[in-house]
Structure 1
Amino acid sequence: MFLPRQTKRGSILSILRLFGAALAVLALTSVVFSPNALAKPVAASIVVDAETGEVLSRSNADAVTYPASLTKMMTLYLLFDALDAGTIKLSDRITFSKNAASEPATNMNVQAGDTISVETAILAMVVRSANDVSTAVGERLGGTESAFARMMTAKARQLGMSNTTYRNANGLPNPGQMTTARDQATLGIALLRDHPKYYGYFGRNSFVYRGNTYGGHNRVMKKFAGADGIKTGYIRAAGFNLVSSAERNGRRLVGVVLGGTSAPIRDKQMVALLTDGFKTRQGIGDVLVAKAPGSAAPVKQAPMVAANDDGAPAGGQDTGAQDDGDMDAVVASTLVPTPKPATRQEDSIGTTIATMASVSLAPAVAKPDTQDVATVWSPENQFGIQVGAYSKFKPAQKAAERATKAVPTLLSDARIVIDRGNSNIYRARVFGLSKTDADAACKKLKAKQTDCLVVKSDSTIAQSVQ
């Protein structure tokens, strides 16, 4: 049966209208809810004199963000605690559970039931940033990874890391896992102070496992004279993170850079911060509170394995490190480890180690052109907006994310900063805007019944301007 011509045409036009409307809704949805509409990770930094605790420079040091693989620093701290307590030995074997073996890259590509020595596990976490190894270590020390995460958080509080919470042993994305640049500096100093005989592991740039040589991610050790550790990290929500320690003329600094836009830019930021730090003798009046006894200076010994995990001589195929889980790994294969002179001896448990006569320093490099060092607070982008203040972190984070989605044309290239400062209130803020864009964003948000306040920042803290 044929429909009248007018009815057919009307039906077709109706269908086309509906289809066009659906496309418009889909397009609007893709703009508003696209991941690209989310603001960039918070950018933060701090440089501290490791001996005195004086803060030499800081920017957003108390803004809450995600630690990414810097989480492994705490996993290692607790493993070193266990080694000192004698509850585990470097020669002991750690077994991979099904849960640990299933962790995504970066990993060691193991199977459930495989084992790894404690010493190789340390190197896998430091050099490879292996997520599966971190989980296996956490399960060994805590029984379950969740129980170990509670141990990690408890230790963080003991050390004075008041704004850090752990949910896993490796740093893979978890909305409840958070930290600040100040807390990461506290942890870096705690590792130097409380576990100096293990600090040398952080200076390793390669290790061998099952005949394969794995390269590391920490290029600052090759770019800055005196740098000898500590750890890199990356997840999309956090950006490129780095904790570095360097010693010159008997003076040791610890620097933290969080939220770098790329690994090279993050590294340049660190080099610039440490360069300025060593030129500075006087702090800014802020002292890092690290709650544990001991000295900040590490001993000049670096434990190093001379054989791989299954007893074969060091060597084998270089695997590189190109994994999706940690973008630092993309350039890891460009690192060519430089052997350091050492004399070998056997320790009490029969593990071969190399005891270095002294810490060799990388060649000095010129300070990078300041125009090449990305800064969050450029002169024209000193403003931001505040869209609420909350008693907990998650509601503040969600409020800032809703704002960036609601005004994507103005806020998609800004950065979320959940600023706690010295209070117990989490302020939901988005920074990196011009005054004009901040005013326009607040106007649009207020039209959507969202409270909004324009704020201005200096190098350390955001200040309200209205």
Structure 2
Amino acid sequence: MGLRNFGPIWRLKKTFGQVLGIIAVTVALATLPSIAEANSKYAGIVVDAKTGKVLYSNSANEPRFPASTTKIMTLYVLFEELEAGRLSLNSKMKVSRYAAGRPPTKLGLKVGSSLLVKDAIYGLVTKSANDASTVIAEHISGSEQAFARRMTRTARAIGMRNTTFKNPHGLPNSKQVTTAADLALLGRAVQERFPKYYEFFNTRSYTFHGRRMGNHNNLLGRVQGVDGIKTGYINASGFNIVTNVKRDKRHIVAVVLGGRTARTRDAQMVKLINQYLPKASRGSRTAPMLYAGVKDYKFPKVAPAIPVAKATTQQADEPTLMAYANANGATPNSKPNDPIARMLEQQAAVPAPRKELVANSLAAPEASAPAASPAPSAAPVERQIASLKPEDINTSGWHIQISATDSQDKAIKLLKNARAAAASTLRNKRIYTEPVKSKKQTLYRARFIGFETKTAAWDACAELKKAKYSCYAVYQ
């Protein structure tokens, strides 16, 4: 019997074999996430960025090594410096011998050369450059160790209770630990605080000194709605990724830690996106950066203040309250016993002074340049306010903070510009500055106060973010 006579049977077997092969591949792909979750290093979380609800959690609060997801916080601190005006995207940072000697991945920087801030950002986002991370740390804080302490303080300030940083790049250190929940909080915070700079994380490739650097995030450009933010890997951690997804008016932040390979990590992330993004809210934002639903994690009950450059969560030994009140912006929401509000209502025609008014019986207002024809009643108002004690001024309630700078004048200017950008929401809100002291520096929080409810504060933040201002609501 010839082979031709066996043709139909052979073709049937071949077809059956192909079907079995397809089934086997499908089953293998379906079980990849299950294998990922069975890994002892695995941890994952999916958070609805609009409501703060945790949609999925697996070992989300167990300690893990962050690897290069560390660089999200490195960039967060760098963005603080940009926002405060101490650096610009074109600022030059010197490359030390130590920085140049960091192990790969790296840009291959030469000792004594300079690195532009914008090139450093692109280097971290795409190449995950360790040498550039150290350049940033040394330029801002003088050393990796000092910078890591600032990173940890900043982590605490935004609610990352279980994270400790020891270096700016994520190279192996047994004491540098985080959790999936903390990284989700950071992934959400960096875009809430720095919407303009967050766009760097969506860079798919960048050319530096003639060399093209592709982003290590394989999901960018391949999974609809993914716009960042960072991957990471060391032997101790496995393959990590923090991802932000916006699609169909829904918004989630998801974290997968401890993948055995980049492929299984990415497969697990795609599964989580497909499974939990449809469960996210399509409405407007309804919650601050507070999570609910993870039973074994103690999230803060009150939204923390925005972390600021070189600031700590410690208060000054003798804090001085400084408030700048715009005479045309006295809030109708001010409490009846607020003396500043009463005085401003009584003398609404008084033009606002150039400098903030210091509410401290021991400190007089800073002298301003002589005006051509000052309003007769301005001085008495300043004297009355200057004679007030800090405890006499009612600043309790909901605030929104847009920045923290090293200058009171800068803080006031930012607030005035922000008010102009969101006049319908902020027209009747007082602007307020408060100093935060560290050992080496005093920074000034720039805030609007006088919001009766958290909803009113969040709505104001939403308007400011439309105008490209960072904003955060805090109860005080």
Calculate the TM-score normalised by the size of structure 2.
0.52
Residue 165 of structure 1 is matched in structure 2 by 164
Question: SS where residue 50 of structure 2 aligns?
Answer: coil
Cα distance in structure 2, aligned partners of 1:217 and 1:107: 13
Structure 1 portions without partners, runs of 5+: 1-38, 295-466
Cα distance in structure 1, aligned partners of 2:272 and 2:191: 20
Residue 237 of structure 1 is matched in structure 2 by 236
Cα distance in structure 1, aligned partners of 2:247 and 2:125: 23
Residue 139 of structure 1 is matched in structure 2 by 138
Cα distance in structure 2, aligned partners of 1:234 and 1:170: 11
Q: How does 1:17-416 map to 2 (within 5 A)?
A: 42-281=41-280, 285-286=293-294, 289=299, 291-292=303-304
Cα distance in structure 1, aligned partners of 2:78 and 2:216: 21
Q: Partner letter of residue 42 of structure 1?
A: K
Cα distance in structure 2, aligned partners of 1:244 and 1:284: 19
1:191-221 Cα offsets, whole Å, 9 max, x none, are 1100111111000011111111111110112
1:39-97 Cα offsets, whole Å, 9 max, x none, are 97610000001121110001000110100000000000000010000011101011111
Cα distance in structure 2, aligned partners of 1:70 and 1:278: 22
Q: 1:227 to 1:151 in 2, by over 3 A?
A: same
Cα distance in structure 2, aligned partners of 1:186 and 1:43: 18
Cα distance in structure 1, aligned partners of 2:181 and 2:135: 28
1:405-463 Cα offsets, whole Å, 9 max, x none, are xxxxxxxxxxxxxxxxxxxxxxxxxxxxxxxxxxxxxxxxxxxxxxxxxxxxxxxxxxx
- Contact 1:66-1:238 within 8 A present in 2 as well: yes
Report how far residue 286 of structure 1 moved. 3.7
Q: 1:41 to 1:91 in 2, by over 3 A?
A: farther
Report how far residue 111 of structure 1 moved. 1.6
Q: 1:160 to 1:98 in 2, by over 3 A?
A: same
Cα distance in structure 1, aligned partners of 2:132 and 2:126: 12
| Greater RCO, CA 8 A, separation 6+ | 1
Cα distance in structure 1, aligned partners of 2:264 and 2:93: 36
Cα distance in structure 2, aligned partners of 1:105 and 1:112: 16
Percent identity among equivalent residues?
A: 44
- Contact 1:41-1:237 within 8 A present in 2 as well: no
Cα distance in structure 1, aligned partners of 2:257 and 2:51: 23
Report how far residue 292 of structure 1 moved. 4.3
Q: 1:262 to 1:110 in 2, by over 3 A?
A: same
Report how far residue 281 of structure 1 moved. 4.2
- Contact 1:191-1:199 within 8 A present in 2 as well: yes
Question: SS where residue 82 of structure 2 aligns?
Answer: helix
- Contact 2:252-2:280 within 8 A present in 1 as well: no
Q: Partner letter of residue 293 of structure 2?
A: G
Cα distance in structure 2, aligned partners of 1:69 and 1:41: 20
Larger Rg over CA atoms: 2
Report how far residue 250 of structure 1 moved. 2.2
Question: SS where residue 222 of structure 1 aligns?
Answer: coil
- Contact 2:49-2:188 within 8 A present in 1 as well: yes
- Contact 1:41-1:239 within 8 A present in 2 as well: no
Cα distance in structure 2, aligned partners of 1:51 and 1:292: 17
Cα distance in structure 2, aligned partners of 1:126 and 1:218: 9
- Contact 2:45-2:57 within 8 A present in 1 as well: yes
Cα distance in structure 1, aligned partners of 2:170 and 2:133: 9
Question: SS where residue 178 of structure 1 aligns?
Answer: coil
After TM superposition, the structure 1 stretch with the greater mean CA deviation from structure 2, 249-258 or 176-185, is: 249-258
- Contact 1:42-1:63 within 8 A present in 2 as well: no
- Contact 1:181-1:257 within 8 A present in 2 as well: yes
Q: Partner letter of residue 131 of structure 2?
A: D
Question: SS where residue 229 of structure 1 aligns?
Answer: strand
- Contact 1:47-1:277 within 8 A present in 2 as well: yes
Q: Partner letter of residue 157 of structure 1?
A: R
Q: Partner letter of residue 229 of structure 1?
A: G
Cα distance in structure 2, aligned partners of 1:41 and 1:108: 33
Report how far residue 173 of structure 1 moved. 0.2
Cα distance in structure 2, aligned partners of 1:278 and 1:168: 33
Question: SS where residue 107 of structure 2 aligns?
Answer: coil
Cα distance in structure 1, aligned partners of 2:39 and 2:234: 12
Cα distance in structure 2, aligned partners of 1:236 and 1:125: 20
Aligned residue pairs total 256
- Contact 2:205-2:214 within 8 A present in 1 as well: yes
Report how far residue 222 of structure 1 moved. 2.7
Cα distance in structure 1, aligned partners of 2:292 and 2:177: 26
Q: 1:108 to 1:183 in 2, by over 3 A?
A: same
Cα distance in structure 2, aligned partners of 1:49 and 1:246: 10
- Contact 2:52-2:292 within 8 A present in 1 as well: no
1:113-155 Cα offsets, whole Å, 9 max, x none, are 1111100100000100000000110111111110000000000
Question: SS where residue 90 of structure 1 aligns?
Answer: coil
Report how far residue 293 of structure 1 moved. 6.2
Q: Partner letter of residue 247 of structure 1?
A: K
- Contact 1:41-1:238 within 8 A present in 2 as well: no
Cα distance in structure 1, aligned partners of 2:98 and 2:87: 22
Cα distance in structure 2, aligned partners of 1:187 and 1:99: 28
Question: SS where residue 221 of structure 2 aligns?
Answer: helix
Question: SS where residue 47 of structure 1 aligns?
Answer: strand
Q: Partner letter of residue 54 of structure 2?
A: V
Q: 1:139 to 1:286 in 2, by over 3 A?
A: same
Cα distance in structure 2, aligned partners of 1:46 and 1:40: 15
Report how far residue 285 of structure 1 moved. 3.2
